[in-house]
Homo-oligomer: A and B are copies of this chain.
Amino acid sequence: MEDETFDETSEGSSVGAAQRVFHALSSAPRRKILAYLSASGLTAGEIADRFNMSKPAVSQHLSILETAGLIRREKQGQFVHYSLIENNLVNTLNGFVQEVCPVGRPIKKESQARARAKESP
């Protein structure tokens, strides 16, 4: 059993990757940050400017997203540049859906339906 997705109730080890990802996604500001980064990489300051929230607060959100493996941090001079790592998000969510809705059926169909809807409006 190479599960890991649901075993994080057991107190044995640290928090588990899936738990980190789902926790990261449970916050509206953090999802909003992901959405911003999906368009282009941004510095911490540029991200903070888009929120009614102190810079340190945004910085914490960024660190949670980074720990979850959803974004990447790159120091460039005095700026810190953040960008999206799509893979972990897609793998985790998809893995979970596969677990809960056995076989790829539902999400594949939905995904295709949505793709069609976007192509032909």
Interface contact B103-A115, CB-CB below 8 Å: yes
Interface hub of A5, A23, A108 (most chain B Cβ within 10 A): A108
Interface contact B28-A26, CB-CB below 8 Å: no
Interface contact A101-B115, CB-CB below 8 Å: no
Interface contact B93-A106, CB-CB below 8 Å: no
Interface contact A34-B94, CB-CB below 8 Å: no
Interface contact B106-A86, CB-CB below 8 Å: yes
Residue of B nearest to A52 (CB): B9
Interface contact B94-A110, CB-CB below 8 Å: yes
Across the interface, A114 reaches (CB within 8 A) one of B29, B84, B98, B118, namely: B98
Residue of B nearest to A34 (CB): B100
Across the interface, A107 reaches (CB within 8 A) one of B9, B28, B93, namely: B93
Is A95 an interface residue when CB atoms closer than 8 A count as contact? yes
Bound Cα distance A100, B107 (Å)? 16
Is A49 an interface residue when CB atoms closer than 8 A count as contact? no
Bound Cα distance A116, B77 (Å)? 45
Interface contact A110-B97, CB-CB below 8 Å: no
Interface contact A111-B94, CB-CB below 8 Å: yes
